[in-house]
Amino acid sequence: MSRSSDSETMYDLTDVLDFEALESVRPGSNILVSGPAMSGKEDLALSVLADGAERDQGSLVVTTGDRAENVLEDFLDRAPEADESRVSVVDCRGDGSRRGEATASGSYVYHVSSPGDLTGIGIGITECLEYLHNNGAESGRFALTSLSTMLTYTDRKTVFKFCHVLSSRFDSAGYLGLFTIDSSAHDDQTLQVIKQAFDGMIEIREEDGRREARVLGLAGQPTDWQEF
Amino acid sequence: MSGSETPVVLIVEDEPDVAETYNLWLADDYEVRKAGSGDEGLAELDDEVDVVLLDRMMPGLSGDEVLERIRERGLDCRVAMVTAVEPDFDILEMGFDAYLCKPIRSQQLHETVENLLERSAYDDMLQEYYSLVEKQATLEATKGSAELADNEEYLELRERVVELKEDLSDTLGGIDDDEDFIATLRGLSDVEE
């Protein structure tokens, strides 16, 4: 097996979320980011990617809701120092056929017509990974926002399998994967099942206007809640 | 899939010499059926067939048309297209599981058949894994943790989930190949259609 040897660089997420459990995350780890609506899950996931982009790592976002150009603009605001040729987006709100193209500033965008087109998303991810690799990104971070939208297009079984296959692919690629889910939009059984496709979870909640997070499953016992 | 029995490979090829060559290469490891045209191929197809080697350019029904009929019939077999030109991902989007460019060598043929059987095994495992994860979640939702700690069915289930997860990561090299990755995802969507 070629993946995750000791020599590989661990991912340090503590600049974004200061937990000991996130200090040294193994390449190939896939993390579910779970929290109620409007609690900052996507914000957190993109911040983790932006943090990586400023360390010359590749960034790949699969978005089910926002247009690629908006995602790119937002992303580059967060990571002004990023090498744009190592940033890529799979936009699932495309119109018409699947297609990939480099933007004027050198990022790569792949369009898929629906979040239910799993094959198209797969091809987009493959093309993006290749693009990032060709532009010198030896490691990278991936975010999918959001699984909740995917669950409205396809059933739990398919989304579970999709998550598992994607996780395996990112494990092989040595990427760090983040997948957001709106915990208030699904029943407990769905969350319980989807969770199993991941190595760990970052849970978010909002208490009296304060955002708190905790980490489960990545290193030892669940952490305590902590404001971020 | 035909379980632990010898896998069945169906060769659909209009040139008898070529078909016989494939047969000689594969006969030691698989049960081989031969068909000289698309129509004959469809007649030979049933639930027992695991892998189809399908020549793209044949008189009568073309390989693409045969593939379409196979998918219409909802058969669970894997189809490798045998072609004279190197295609790209379009082939996978068309519903083929793999392609082989002529002239084919013995080792390459074996690798392709093995890979397709492994993908079937992966899909079966992933389905079982999902079923067990569902069961585990149901038990966790309906019983308290104290009760579960003594529940033998639950403990066995958890063990099996861990085992399957490991087996899955050992299959297909943990999906490190783009073709395996996309074909596996396509398999997921097919079920939904």
Q: Give the pLDDT mean for B130-153.
A: 90
Is the pLDDT confidence value at A7 over 50? Answer: no
CA–CA gap between residue A74 and residue A82 (Å, rounded): 12
Query: Looking at residue B186, what is its pLDDT?
Result: 87
Is any Cβ of chain B less than 8 angstroms from the Cβ of A157?
yes
Average pLDDT, chain B: 89
Each residue's pLDDT tens digit, A99-154 = 999 999 999 999 999 999 999 999 999 999 999 999 999 999 999 999 999 999 99
How close does chain A come to B90, measured CA to CA in Å?
10
Q: Would you tell me how many other CB atoms lie within 10 Å of the CB of residue A23?
A: 13
Q: Give the pLDDT mean for B132-154.
A: 90
Q: What is the 3-state secondary structure (H, E, C) of A96-109?
A: CCCEEEECCCCCEE
* Residue B181 to residue A117, Cβ atoms within 8 A: no
Residues 109-128 of A with CB under 8 A from B: 116-119, 121-123, 125-126
- 3-state SS class at A134: helix
Q: Give the pLDDT mean for B106-111.
A: 95
**Which parts of chain B are beta strand (E)?**
8-12, 31-35, 49-55, 78-83, 98-101
Q: Give residue for tokens 């698989």.
A: B30
How are the residues of chain A apportioned to helix, strand and coil, as percentages rounded to the nearest 5? 35, 25, 40
* Residue B141 to residue A193, Cβ atoms within 8 A: no
pLDDT bin (cut points 50, 70, 90) of residue B142 is confident
> From the list A1, A165, A193, which residue is nearest B184 (CB)?
A165
Is the pLDDT confidence value at B86 over 90? Answer: no
Each residue's pLDDT tens digit, A153-208 = 999 999 999 999 999 999 999 999 999 999 999 999 999 999 999 999 999 999 88
Query: Looking at residue B113, what is its pLDDT?
Result: 97
Q: Which of A3-7, A149-153, B49-53, B174-178 has the lowest mean pLDDT?
A: A3-7
pLDDT bin (cut points 50, 70, 90) of residue A15 is very high
Contact B129, B165 (CB under 8 A): yes
* Binding-site residues on chain B for chain A (CB distance < 8 A): 89, 92-93, 126-127, 129-130, 133-134, 136-138, 140-141, 161, 168-169, 173-176, 178, 181-182, 184-186, 188-189, 191-192
Is the pLDDT confidence value at A1 over 50? Answer: no
pLDDT bin (cut points 50, 70, 90) of residue B57 is confident
pLDDT bin (cut points 50, 70, 90) of residue A25 is very high
Helix (H) and strand (E) counts in chain A: 6, 10
End-to-end CA distance of chain A: 37
Contact A91, A127 (CB under 8 A): no
Is the pLDDT confidence value at A3 over 60? Answer: no
Helix (H) or strand (E) holding B69: helix B63-72
